[in-house]
Structure 1
Amino acid sequence: MEIYNFDRDNGKKITKFNSDFVMSHIIQTDKATTIGCIYLEENGIIGYHKAVVPQLLLIMNGEGHVRGEKEEYYQVGTGDAVFWNKDEWHETKTSVGLTAIVIESEVLNPSSIMTLKK
């Protein structure tokens, strides 16, 4: 399991075409990719299971705890991105609720575009 950060501080200022915004790049793929949105209510859980393909969980709102194959939980919140490899066991839970975008694809490589969380 790897935890990245895509908050505003990790973005780049874009001024091309008279623009004025910050963009945090997340992922780039050249194969089929599934993108979905997950809504976990208070005390919600995505149960412990094996990833069918590599997946990236982007916490958009709220906070919770994630784990990989070890029984060690890590706190995550808005702006964090959690990556699990194919066949990696994992779980996500929250006591307060969270909303997340999940990206699943055989060709995910978040380290090519994002920085690991410190």
Structure 2
Amino acid sequence: MKIFRFDQQVGQKINHYNSNFIMSKVTKLGSEAVIGCMHLEENGVIGFHKAVMPQLLLIVNGEGWVTGKEQTKIQVRAGDAVFWEKGEGHQTMTDTFLTAIVIEAKELKPEEFMPLKEVANR
């Protein structure tokens, strides 16, 4: 057995697209998928950019807001999973803190396993 770390202290500061968060890389599955953990502190932001491939953001701790192609802010919290299609512009932000696992892969089909959540705009 091996035990690895993906906490904030082993991550890398990201500031692309006016972002302010720490990314701890978890693994890469060939050239098909990348998995990481994003740590957003108070007033953290993953700046607006287009998804290079389908992307699933699993909120595991905290709360914040996400946007999609309409750029409407939708509140999210631990237990929510946000999916963006390839090429879809999006952003993630928090006033307090937010920790999320991100999965980027050519073929993601979250609708096969998870029910949709009714959302309210801010």
Q: TM-score range by the shorter chain?
A: 0.7 to 0.9
Aligned to 1:47: 47
Count of matched residue positions in the alignment of Structure 1 and Structure 2: 89
Aligned to 2:56: 56
* Residues 34-91 of structure 1: CA deviation (Å, up to 9, x unaligned): 1100000100000000000000000000000000011310000000000000000000
Two-structure CA RMSD over aligned residues (Å): 1.5
Aligned to 1:37: 37
Q: Percent identity?
A: 58
Aligned to 1:73: 73
For 2:36 and 2:63, the matched residues in 1 are separated by 18
Q: Does 1 or 2 have the higher relative contact order (CA < 8 Å, sep 6+)?
A: 1
TM-score (norm. length: structure 1): 0.72
* Residues 4-43 of structure 1: CA deviation (Å, up to 9, x unaligned): xxxxxxxxxxxxxxxxxxxxxxxxxxx8221100000100
Give structure 1 regions of 4+ aligned residues with deviation exceeding 4 angstroms: none
* Residues 87-110 of structure 1: CA deviation (Å, up to 9, x unaligned): 000000000010000000000010
Structure 2 counterpart SS, 1:108: coil
TM alignment of 1:1-16, pairs within 5 A: none
* Unpaired segments ≥5 residues, structure 1: 1-30
Structure 2 counterpart SS, 1:111: helix
* Unpaired segments ≥5 residues, structure 2: 1-30
Aligned to 1:10: none
User: For residue 81 of structure 1, what is the amino acid of its counterpart?
Assistant: A
